[in-house]
Chain A
Amino acid sequence: MTQPKPTDRIWDAQNECMPREQLEQLQLQRLQQTLHRANEKVPCYKNKFSALNISPNDINSLEDLQKLPFTTKEDLRLNYPYGMFAVPLRDVVRIHSSSGTTGKPTVVGYTRNDLKIWTQLAARFMTAAGVTPDDIVHIAFGYGLFTGAFGLHYGAEEIGASVIPISSGNTNKQIMIMQDYRSSALVCTPSYAMTLADRMEKQGIDPHTLSLKVGLFGGEPWSEEMRREIESRLGIIATDNYGLSEVMGPGVAGECQHKCGMHIFEDHFIPEIIDPETGVVLPRGSVGELVLTSITKEAFPIIRYRTRDITQLDYAPCACGRSHVRMLKTMGRSDDMLIIKGVNVFPTQIEEVLFQEDGCEPHYQLIVERSGTMDTLEVQVEVNEHIFFDEMRKQRAFVEKLEKRLLSVLGVGAKVKLVEPSTITRHEGKAKRVIDKRNG
């Protein structure tokens, strides 16, 4: 365990550093209240519980949580728009919604008390990242139905920082305001932080001459490599935070300055890690799908929500003093997970290997096949000028290097096949990276 840092600050030490035994007692008590209310007020939960012939009274320990059914995105869609609300609309003071990439969006609501808690939790992780009342917080998330901007906005105000609600878009104006208003904390997606760095470089602005000192990035998965790049290019500490609108929004978990995983605010949420295939809860320390249960939300309680995010929980004490468990960076989505020769493989892992090559961000596609009883993984990579060599020896060495790296990262062999440019089909928005030709 490393030493605490002088800049370690804790917003709510009483709750964030609560001894585990006491924390678990609080969790159980709040869980029982939540289950009773959900069962009483939300027909979806009532039906699910009775289908399994289980009542909230049967939940007498945190382990009993495993007896309860999961809630999925599909449940939320079926109850669109307000079917999952546990309070009448007159008690709801805010409505947010997640992007509806497929079909209808999902709608979530907050009571006045929910907003108060959300604000507190945002203040917690922003403090953990290093935001203080002296900071000027530049919020470049889009303000709107998306929970990102509002969550951090209220959190920063609660801390007493000065908030610039610039919203997303207009990169040149963002940079001008950063320079003139002396923004010191940047809130946006990690990829937008890269865009800002690129644009500054193009304009001949040295990011190190700005006042930026910390970044709070979220909204999409990002790698440690990307963190290092953002930190060195922008000259800041880059921190990760986690949240999803179905569970609350940003403020479910956040990194402290030790950057060893995101503390899940366990006095408000109970995390579990399950095997995405079987739904079985995995032993501590296993990699699997994160399942979250809210235990204080009034308007939109959520029970055993399958986040589809793959991660790992670390219960070892953290140098910052918080007792709350840490979730590691999300490794991918369980929807994307492939099982090849019994090994879990995520397209994001492959992407990281491919993107490690300087200047090379090739289009790629994964082809999974079965020959006999053996699974085979082929990574098709579109050749571009950065990775095309006139000499066959170098070209083959490049392919072999990729194959070697893939084997060490994935733990399973993959064949790399170079293909001509524009032969891999482009899709709008999210790319379809995987073609699985195995049966079932």
Chain B
Amino acid sequence: MTIEQISIFIENKSGRLAEVAQSLGDNGVNIHALSLADTSDFGILRLIVDKTDLANDTLKKHGFTVSKTTVVAVEVPDHPSGLAGILNILDSGKVNVEYMYAFVERCRGNAVIIFRFDDHDAAIDILLKNNVNVLQGERVYNM
């Protein structure tokens, strides 16, 4: 029930993000969600796209260091305490969140959050047990 994400190493210098976006755009890859974690020297850009393999190959061809990682897309009620409820469930299952970021699109009126957990299986298990909807890959790539 995990989905694929691509991560890109980006040096902090002007124009690099634009280059990533441009090369993906030129190859017909659409970005669904992104997050950028940065330090003063470098950043890690994470993307959910409609065509993961094509995006991966394209960026490698452009000389970027890219890795594919698995993450979990979770439907989160779009109202106050919606996210808190989910995080409490995860906490009760002793699952740690490495990082998370929000999806632009909504799914059936709910927000979608991308999570990277220290233990994906345990996280998915506890979420499903608590009737939280975890999105399938196909659903996410085609949103």
Contact = CB atoms under 8 A, between A and B. Distances in A.
Interface of A: 383-385, 388-393, 395-396, 417-423
A390 B63 contact: no
B63 A421 contact: yes
B63 A392 contact: no
Contacts of A393: 98
B18 interface: no
B59 to A, nearest CB: 11
Contact of A420 (B37, B46, B64, B116): B64
SS class of chain A's interface: helix, strand, loop or mixed?
loop
A384 B60 CA distance: 11
Given A391-B99, A392-B44, A419 B67 contact: no
Nearest 4 Cβ contacts at the A-B interface: A390-B7, A390-B69, A383-B65, A392-B37
A390 B46 contact: yes
Contacts of A423: 11
A395 B11 contact: no
Interface of B: 5, 7, 9-11, 16, 37, 39, 41-42, 44, 46, 63-67, 69, 98-99, 116
B10 A392 contact: no
B64 A421 contact: yes
A418 B63 contact: no
B11 A390 contact: no
A419 B11 contact: yes
A418 B44 contact: no
A420 B16 CA distance: 10
Contacts of A391: 98-99, 116
A400 to B, nearest CB: 12
B39 A420 contact: no
Contacts of B46: 390
A296 B9 CA distance: 59
A383 B66 CA distance: 10
A435 B99 CA distance: 37
Given A390-B44, A392-B37, 12 more contacts: A385-B65, A388-B9, A388-B67, A389-B67, A390-B5, A390-B7, A391-B98, A395-B44, A417-B42, A420-B9, A420-B64, A421-B64
18 contacts: A383-B65, A385-B65, A388-B9, A390-B44, A390-B46, A390-B116, A391-B116, A392-B39, A392-B99, A417-B42, A418-B9, A418-B41, A418-B42, A419-B42, A420-B64, A420-B65, A421-B65, A422-B63
Contacts of B10: 420
Nearest to B6: A390
Nearest to A382: B65
Contacts of A417: 41-42
Contacts of B41: 417-418
Nearest to A418: B42
B44 A420 contact: no
A398 B9 CA distance: 14
A233 B5 CA distance: 38
Contacts of A418: 9, 11, 41-42
Nearest to A396: B39
A420 B9 CA distance: 7
A421 B62 CA distance: 10
A211 B14 CA distance: 58
Contacts of A388: 7, 9, 65, 67
Contact of A383 (B9, B37, B116): B9
Contacts of B67: 385, 388-390
Contacts of B63: 420-422
A135 to B, nearest CB: 47
A423 B64 CA distance: 11
A385 B16 CA distance: 18
A22 to B, nearest CB: 61
Contacts of B98: 391, 393
A418 B43 CA distance: 10
A243 B120 CA distance: 58
Nearest to B68: A390
A385 B63 CA distance: 12
Contacts of B11: 418-420, 423
B42 to A, nearest CB: 5
A420 B63 CA distance: 8
A420 B65 CA distance: 7
Contacts of B9: 383, 388, 418, 420
Looking at B9, B39, B69, the one whose CB has the most chain A CB atoms below 10 A away is B9
B95 to A, nearest CB: 15
B104 to A, nearest CB: 21
A384 B42 CA distance: 14
A267 B107 CA distance: 86
A85 B21 CA distance: 66
